[in-house]
A and B are shown apart, each in its own frame.
Chain A
Amino acid sequence: MSQWHADAAALRDYTAGRTPLPVTASLEAHLVRCDECRAILRADADRGRHAAVWDRVVDDVLVGPESRAERLAMRLGLSERDAMIAGSAPRVRGAWLLGVLLCLLLAVVAVQASSTWGTFVFLAVAPLVPVGAVAFAYGQEADPLWETTLATPSEPLRLVIIRAVTVLVVALPVLLLVAPLLPWPTWTAAAWLLPALACTALTVALSTWFPVSEAALGITALWVVVTAVAAGPGFRDVLLVLSTPMLSLYLVVAVVATIVFWVRLDRLATLGRIR
C-alpha cells in the first residue's frame, strides 16, 4: 500500500470535476490502489452529481453514437437540435448517399469518356444532385416520421433547409472539383450551378402542390429532355444549355419559383394530398 495520500482539496476538486487532465489521471491511478483515499472520496461524494453523471452515461448509451453527419453539423456550429435534424436525414433515407454517389460516379465516368458525351452526361446529371437532396429531405415518402414531425412546433422550412444542406455539403464540393476537369471554358465549370438552382427552386415550389418525390421526378425528366434537345444529334451543341439566354431563363425561373415557394410556404406545414 502507498504511504502517500491524495490532498483533501485535490480530492474535492476531483469530485467536482475541476482537476486538470494530468492531475485527474494521477489521482485516478492512485485511487485504484488506495482504500483510504477511496473512502474519503466516498464520504465526500456529492450523490446528486454522481447520479447526474450516471444518468448522462446511461442516456449516451441509450441514444447511441452520433452519426458522422451530426458530428460534422455540430463542428460547423449547428445547435445539438439542428444537428439531430441534419443527422436524421441519412437515417431517414439511407439511399440518398447511394444516389448522390451514383450521380458522381456517372459524372466522373462521363469525364473519362469522349468530350461531348462526357460534357452532356455531366450537364444532364450534376444540376439534378441538389434536386435529389431536396427530394430525400422531407415529405411523407422520404420521412417515416413526417406526420408526427408536422405536429411539433418545429418549423418545416428549417427542417427542409437543414437536411437539404446536409446532403449538398457532401455532394456539391465533389461536383465542383469534377467540373473543371471537363474540356470546356473555365466560366462554364461554375455556370451549371444556375440550372441547378432553377431545378431545385422549381422542385420545392412544386412540392407545395405535389409530393416532393413526384415534383423531383418531373423536374428530372424535364431537365434531361431540355439538355438532350439543346445538345442535338451527337451532343455537339451541348453547351447551348449554358448559353447566355438560357442562363437568363434559369435565373428568372429560379426567382419566380422561389417567390411561389415563399408565398405557398405554409402548405409545407400540413400534409399534402392524402393517398
Chain B
Amino acid sequence: MNSSTVALRGVTKKYGRSPALDGMDLTLGVGITGLLGPNGAGKTTLLRILATVLRPTDGTCRVLGLDPFQPEQRTDIRRRLGYLPQESGYPRGFTAFRYVDYLAALKEWSDRSARHAEARRVLDLVGMSDLAGKRMRALSGGQRRRVALAQALIGEPDLLVLDEPTTGLDPEQRVSLRGVLSGAGHRATVLLATHQTEDVAALCERVVVLDAGRVLHDGPVTELVASARGRVWLADSEDDRALSAWRTGTGRYRHIGHHPPPGAELTEPTLEDAYLLLRGVPRHDLDEVRS
C-alpha cells in the first residue's frame, strides 16, 4: 500500500440529528478508488469533506498530510486538489473556455498565457477543444459535465475528488474519460463516486461501498467480485428465493442469491452482482438500486 494521502478517523457528519456519516474510518493512497452506495449513503458528504468544503461534526481528518480545517493548511490542500461536485452550475454567458479559464484564475494561475495553455490542455484531455468557444448554456448535459471535469484536472492535482463524473455521458465519452482518469490514477489519489458499477470495474483497483453513512466494504474490486462467485445463476424461469432476479436480453433470468434456482447454471459475477449481494437488497428495491 502506498503512503496514505487521505486518512479519516471516526468522522461523523450530522445534518440536524440524522448522521450522513457515522464514525467513518478511511485511508486512501495513490490510485483510483471507486465509491459506491445508494442515494443517501453519504457519498457526497464524504467527498465534500475530502474536498475541504464541508466540516465534519466529529472525528479527525488528514488530507495530503494536512489538516483541512486549519485555514493555512486548507489553502495548501486546495492548491493540490481537483474537485468535481455532484452539481456544478455555470454562470450565464460563460464559454467553455472562459469557464475553465476563470477557475484556473481562482486556482492561482495568474500568468495569462500559461493559464490559457492549461485551459486548452485540460479541455483537450476531455475532448472539448472543438467546442471551447461555445457558450455553456448551448452545450449538452454531457458536454457540460466534461467541461466541469476539465476544471478539476487543472494543474495535475495530487488529489482528485470526483462526484459522478460520468453522469450524462454517452458510452464513447465514458470510455474516453476512463483513459483520462486512469492516466491521473498513476500519480494521484483519485476518489470517484458513481452509480455506474461498470466504471468502477473498468477503472478502480479498490472499491469502498457505503451504506447509511458507514463503510460496508473496503477492498480490491476483484475481491468484491470474487465474493459473489457461486451465487449468480442463469435460469429459464424466475425463482422467488433469489435475492435479486431479472429477465435479461437473452430471455433468461439472472439470479443473485444464496439458493440456486432449479436447472440453473452458474455464471461469472459482475461488480454489480457483487454490490447487490453485499447490500442484500430486497427484490422490491432492486429497481431503485439499479436506477
Cβ B53 vs Cβ A270 within 8 A: yes
Task: Return the contact of B107 from the options A64, A80, A153 (Cβ within 8 A).
Answer: A153
Which residues of A37-68 are within 8 A (CB) of B? 52, 55-56, 59, 61-64
Cβ B108 vs Cβ A154 within 8 A: yes
Which residues of A51-92 are within 8 A (CB) of B? 52, 55-56, 59, 61-64, 79-81, 84-85, 88, 91-92
Cβ A151 vs Cβ B55 within 8 A: no
In the bound assembly, the distance between CA atoms of A52 and B116 in angstroms comes to 11
Cβ A63 vs Cβ B53 within 8 A: no
Cβ A62 vs Cβ B103 within 8 A: no
Q: Which residue of B lies closest to A67 (CB)?
A: B93
Residue-wise, chain B 76-91 has the 8 Å CB interface mask toward A (1 for contact) of 1011010111011111
In the bound assembly, the distance between CA atoms of A61 and B74 in angstroms comes to 35
Cβ A91 vs Cβ B92 within 8 A: yes
Cβ A148 vs Cβ B78 within 8 A: no
Cβ A55 vs Cβ B93 within 8 A: no
- Closest CB-CB distance, B20 to chain A, in whole Å? 9
- The answer to whether B102 has its CB under 8 Å from any CB of chain A is yes
B52 neighbours in A (Cβ, 8 Å): 150-151, 270
* Majority secondary structure, A binding face: helix
- The answer to whether A145 has its CB under 8 Å from any CB of chain B is yes
Cβ B89 vs Cβ A84 within 8 A: no
- Closest CB-CB distance, A115 to chain B, in whole Å? 41
Which residues of A156-183 are within 8 A (CB) of B? none
Residue-wise, chain B 14-51 has the 8 Å CB interface mask toward A (1 for contact) of 01000000000000000000000000000001001001
- Closest CB-CB distance, A23 to chain B, in whole Å? 26
Q: Which residue of B lies closest to A60 (CB)?
A: B116
In the bound assembly, the distance between CA atoms of A273 and B90 in angstroms comes to 21
In the bound assembly, the distance between CA atoms of A63 and B91 in angstroms comes to 13
Q: Which residue of B lies closest to A267 (CB)?
A: B55
Cβ B117 vs Cβ A149 within 8 A: no
Known contacts A153-B79, A274-B15; A63 and B103 CB within 8 A of each other: no
Cβ B106 vs Cβ A63 within 8 A: no
Instruction: Provide 17 A-B residue pairs closer than 8 Å at the C-beta atoms, listed in order of the A residue.
Output: A63-B97, A63-B101, A80-B112, A84-B105, A88-B102, A144-B90, A147-B88, A148-B84, A148-B88, A151-B52, A151-B78, A152-B103, A153-B78, A269-B74, A270-B54, A271-B54, A274-B45
- What 5 A-B pairs come out closest when comparing CB atoms? A144-B89, A62-B97, A151-B83, A152-B106, A91-B91
